[in-house]
Amino acid sequence: MNLSLSEDQTILSDEFRKFFAEQSSMERVRKAEDENDGFDAELWKALGEMGALAMRLPGEDGFGAFEAGLVAFEAGRQLASAPLVEGIVAARLLAQVQGPEDLIQAASTGEAVVTLALSEADAGAQLVPGGAVADAVLALDGEDVKLVRPGKSGAPVNLAGQPLDSLDLAALDGEVLSASNDARAHFLAALEEWKLLTAAWMTGAGLRALELAGDYAKEREQFGRPIAAYQAVAHPLADMATEMTGADMIWRWAMAEIAQDGPQATAAAPMAYWFAAQAASQAVYRAQHTFGGYGLAIEYDIQLYVRRARAAPGVFGNPRDQLIEAGRRLWLGSDAALPEIGPMEIEFGYGEEAVAFAQETRAFFQRELTQEYRDNAHFSYDGHDWKLNKKMGKARLLFPSWPVEHGGRGLDDFATAAALQVWEDEGVTSHSQYVSNLVGHSIIHFGSDEARADIVPRLADGDIISCLGFSEPHSGSDVFAAKTRARQAEDGSGDWIVDGQKMWTSGANLAHHAFLLARTDHEAPKHRGMTVFLVPLDDPGVEIHPVHTFQDERTNATFYENVRVPDSYRIGPVNGGLEVMGFALTIEQGGGGFTGPHRHAVESAVEWAREAERDGGKAIDSPRVLERVAAAATRNRVSYLLYWRALWLKQQGSDRAAGPMSKLYSSEALLKDATDLWEMAAPDSLLRGKHGAKQLEHEMRHGSVTTVYGGTSEVHRSQVAEAFFGLPKSR
C-alpha cells in the first residue's frame, strides 16, 4: 500500500496551491462574477502558461489523469473562475479525434476556450459549462464528435455566477470529427474523466470550506467561550471532515482502480462523483451554518463556496443518477468506456506479503471449517471455537503482527487486515482475536518479564483468550472515571487486591483474564491515578453475570471482591494507566471493524434483489433499488478507504485521529445503510437468517450497537474535531 504523493506530485500540488492562491483570490473570484459572467480571462491565460490546459494532451510528455486531479483539487479550493476541468478534458479529446491543429494549440495554451457538452447533441437545449465564453464546444452526436462554434452570448443568471450557456447543439451548424471509429468511445471516456476531475474539484472546495469554518469556530466566542468548545459545533464539523476525507480518498481510489483494471473499475467514476457531490454539498452547508447569520452575508466568502460547490455537479443533472449508472455497471453487466489514467504510484493493495498470508489463512479455513462449524458460526464471542483457535495458534495464524519470538509472524498491520477480511468472508468470529491481539501487544510493550513469559505464549498458541475490563455502569466511554479500585495487599507480598464492577465485559465467560483498568491513587488527578492489570477470572472473588443483547450476543457484567492479582500481572507502571490505555485504545480504535458487516449487508441486498420481484420484474432491475444499493456499496468503499488510510498513517507514524475517524465513519455508515437496505427489502427482511433479506435483518440490529463499541461516536467526533481542525476539547 502506498498513499503518498511522489516528490514530483508534491511539487505539482504545492505550485498550483500557490498559483491559485495568487491568481484566484476571493477578490478575483468576486470580480469575475460581478463583471464577466464568472470567467477570469487573465486566470485562463495564466493556466495556459502554467501548462495546466495541456497536461492531458496525448503523448509521452503528458501528465496522467491523477496529476490533473491534483490540479483540479487545488482549483476547487480557490473556486477558480474558469472551466478548468472541461478545458483539460476537451483539449485531450480534441487531439484524440484529430480536431483542427490550430484549435488544439489554442485550447492547450489558453488562447481559446474549448469545452464539452455533458449530454448528447440531440438532447435539446442544455446547460454547457463554460459555454458562455467558449470558442468551441465538443458534443457527442451519435457515433461522431461534433465541433460547434456557438458564439459568445453571455451567461444567464445562475446559482454559482458561472459562465454557463443554454445551447441546442443539434440546431447549430458544426464540424463532424470522426477521424477514427473510436470517436464515441473517446468522448464517453472523456466524460468519465470529467467526473473524476470534478470529484477532485468538489473535494477541494468542500475541504477548504471546512477549514474556513474551523478557523471561524476557534475565533468566535459565545457565552464566554469559543464556539469550537461546544459539541454542537465541533461534532457536526467532525462528521463533515470525515465525509470530505472520504471524498478525497475515493476519487484517488477511482483513478487507481481504473488504472489497474480493478474489479470495480467501470463503476469507479460514478461512485466517486456521487460521493464527492453529496459530501461537498453537506460540508459547505455545515460550514455556512457554523458562521451563523454571517454565513448568509454576501461579504463573507463562505457563501461563495456554498453556491459553487452545490452548482458544480448540478450542471450534469441529479448526482444520484450516477448511483443508478454505477449499479448497472456493478450488477447488470453494463459496460463503460474508461479513460487512460496513466501511471499510478498510489496503490491501495495490502502488498504481496499480506496477500500471501491472507491466502494461507483462507486455505486453512477451507481445509479446517466443517459444515457443522459454518452452521453454528456466530459473529460474537458465542462463535468462539477452542479447537479451531488452538489449530490457528499452532499454525501461527492468530497474531501475524506479533514478533516471531512471541508467537507471531513479524508481519505488518496490513497482513492482519488482509487476513481478517478472510475471517469475515469465511464467517469466522474475530472477537477473541481482536481483543487478545490488543492485550498481547500491550503485554509485549508494557508487561513484566513474568507476564510476557506466562501469558503471551498461551495467547499465541490459542490456549487462552482475553477480555477487556474498561467500562463501568456509570462511566461508559469515560473509562478514566472508573471506580473499581486496586490496593496493595497488606501482607507484604506485593500483590494487589481488586474490588469493583465492570460492565460490557464481553467474553469474560470464556477468557482467562480481564485487561482491567483500576484506580490506584484517589488523590491523583483523574487520568493519573489509574493502573492496568491482568485480572485472573478464575479467582473465587470474581462473579460473571450474563447480559444478553438484542443483537443475539452475550456480554457480561463482572464483579470483583478481594480479587488477588500478582504484581507481575500489573501492566505498565503504577498510576501509569494513561499511557497503557492510550496504546491499547490506538489499537482498539484503529478502525475497520465494521467494514465487513457493511459489505455483507450490500452483498445480502444484491442477493435478495436478484431473486425478489418488484414492479413487475426482478428487484435488481429497478432503478430505485439500484440507487439505494449502489449508495451503500459506495459508502462501504469509503469505509474501506478510511480504514486503509488509518493503517497507512499508523505505519508512517502519523495518525491525526485517523483510526477514530475510520471507526466513526464505518459504524455510522453501517447503521445508515443496514437500516435503509432492510427497509428496502421489507417485508422479506422481517425474517431472521443468514442469507439475503434475512441477513439484512441481522445487520440492521447489529448496526445499532456499532456506534457504541470501542467508544461512542460522540467520543470519536471529539477526537476528530481536535485533530483535524485543532479545536479545543469539547464537552
> If you write DSSP's letter for every residue of 491-535 in order, what string do you get?
TSS--EEEEEEEE--TTTTT-SEEEEEEE--SSS-TTTSEEEEEE
Q: By 3-state DSSP, what share of the chain in percent is helix, strand and coil, each rounded to 5?
A: 55, 10, 35
pLDDT score for 552: 84
Residues 148, 269: Cα–Cα separation, whole Å: 27
Residue 726, Cβ density class (10 Å: 0-12 exposed, 13-18 middle, ≥19 buried) = exposed
Cell of 314: 448540478
Which of the residue ranges 22-36, 263-277, 652-666 would you say has the lowest mean pLDDT?
Answer: 652-666
Task: With 0.75 as the threshold, say if the pTM is over it.
Answer: yes
Phi, psi of 143 (to 5 degrees): -90, -5
Mean pLDDT of 76-82: 98
Q: In this predicted model, what pLDDT tens digit does every residue of 454-463 receive, in sequence order?
A: 999 999 999 9
Q: What's the pLDDT tens digit per position in 144-181?
A: 999 999 988 889 999 999 999 999 999 999 999 975 67
Nearest to 462 by CA among 594, 364, 555: 364
CB burial class (10 A; 0-12, 13-18, 19+) of residue 548?
exposed
For residue 730, pLDDT over 80 is answered with no
**Phi, psi at 148, each rounded to 5°:** -120, 135
Closest of 592, 723, 586 to residue 238, by C-alpha? 723
For residues 217-230, give the mean pLDDT. Answer: 93
SS3 250: helix
3-state secondary structure of 555: strand
Q: How confident is the model at residue 731, as a pLDDT?
A: 64
- Lookup: cell for 179: 477521424
Residue 541's closest CA among 503, 488, 501?
501
CATH among 3.20.20.70, 1.10.12.10, 1.20.140.10, 3.60.15.10 for 595-725: 1.20.140.10
In tens, the pLDDT along 494-537 reads: 999 999 999 999 999 999 999 999 999 988 887 789 999 999 99
Q: Among the listed ranges 202-216, 262-276, 699-713, which one has the minimum average pLDDT value?
A: 699-713
Query: For residue 625, with 0-12 CB atoms within 10 Å meaning exposed, 13-18 middle and 19 or more buried, which class applies?
Result: buried
Strands 513-519, 554-565: pairing kind: unpaired
Helix axes 658-680, 595-611, angle to 10 degrees: 20
Distance CA(55)–CA(197), nearest Å, equals 13
Could you tell me if 234 and 225 are in contact, meaning their C-beta atoms sit under 8 angstroms apart? no
Give the pLDDT score at 592: 67
Is the peptide bond preceding residue 156 cis, with omega within 30 degrees of 0? no
Q: What is the pLDDT of residue 615?
A: 81
Helix or strand (DSSP H, E) at 165: strand 165-167
Cβ atoms within 10 Å of 122's Cβ, excluding its own: 13
Q: Which three cell numbers stand for residue 238?
A: 467532525
Query: How does DSSP classify residue 552?
Result: S
Give residue-wise pLDDT tens across range 469-500: 999 998 877 788 889 999 999 999 999 999 99
**pLDDT digits 0-9 by tens, 104-126:** 999 999 999 999 999 999 999 99
CA torsion angle for 425, 360, 459, 369 (degrees, to 10)?
50
Nine-digit cell at 524?
A: 491523583
The number of beta carbons lying within 10 Å of the beta carbon of residue 293 is 7
Residue 708, classed as helix, strand or coil, is coil
Specify the residue for cell string 477514427: 180
Per-residue pLDDT at 586 = 76
pLDDT at residue number 585:
77
pLDDT in tens, 382-391: 899 999 999 9
- Rounded-to-integer distance, Cα 128 and Cα 132, Å: 8
pLDDT band at residue 589 under the 50/70/90 scheme: low
- Report the sign of the C-alpha dihedral through residues 30, 31, 33, 39, in that order: negative
pLDDT of the residue at 61: 67
C-alpha cell at position 467: 477480555
Q: Please name the fold of domain 7-186.
A: Butyryl-Coa Dehydrogenase, subunit A; domain 1 (1.10.540)
* Percent of the chain residues past pLDDT 90, beyond the cut: 85
pLDDT band at 544 (very low <50, low <70, confident <90, very high): very high
Residue 573: asked if its preceding bond is cis (omega within 30°), the reply is no
Q: What is the pLDDT of residue 537?
A: 97
Strand partners, 225: 222
CATH class of 466-581: mainly beta
Neighbours of 526 (CB within 10 A): 12
Residue with cell 486503509: 644
Q: How many CB atoms lie within 10 A of CB 481?
A: 13
The residues pairing with 496 across neighbouring beta strands, listed in sequence order, are 488, 565
- The answer, yes or no, to whether residue 85 has pLDDT greater than 60, is yes
Q: Which of 590, 584, 581, 250 is nearest to 417 (CA)?
A: 590
In this structure, the chain runs to a length of 731
Which of 470, 459, 475 has the alpha carbon at shortest distance from 532?
Answer: 470
The whole-number pLDDT of residue 375 equals 85
Closest CA to 585 of 457, 477, 465, 707: 477
295 within 8 A of 233, measured Cβ to Cβ: no
Residue 570 and residue 178: Cα distance in Å, rounded? 77
Q: Please give the pLDDT value at position 376.
A: 85
CB 177 within 8 A of CB 98: yes
Q: Taking residues 277-289, report their average pLDDT.
A: 98
Residue that the C-alpha cell 471509429 belongs to: 181
Q: What ranges do the domains of the chain cover?
A: 7-186, 466-581, 595-725
Quote the DSSP letter at residue 167.
Answer: E
Query: Which residues have CB under 8 Å from 672's CB, separation 6+?
Result: 635, 703
pLDDT score recorded for residue 723: 92
Q: What is the CA radius of gyration of the chain?
A: 29
Distance of CA 324 to the CA centre of its chain: 21
DSSP 449-505: HHHHHHTHHHHHHTS--EEEE---TTTTT-GGG---EEEE-TTSS--EEEEEEEE--
The answer, yes or no, to whether residue 45 has pLDDT greater than 90, is: yes
Q: What mean pLDDT comes out for the span 555-570?
A: 97
Residue 434 has pLDDT above 80, yes or no: yes
What's the pLDDT tens digit per position in 242-261? 999 999 999 999 999 999 99
Q: What per-residue confidence (pLDDT) applies to 151?
A: 87
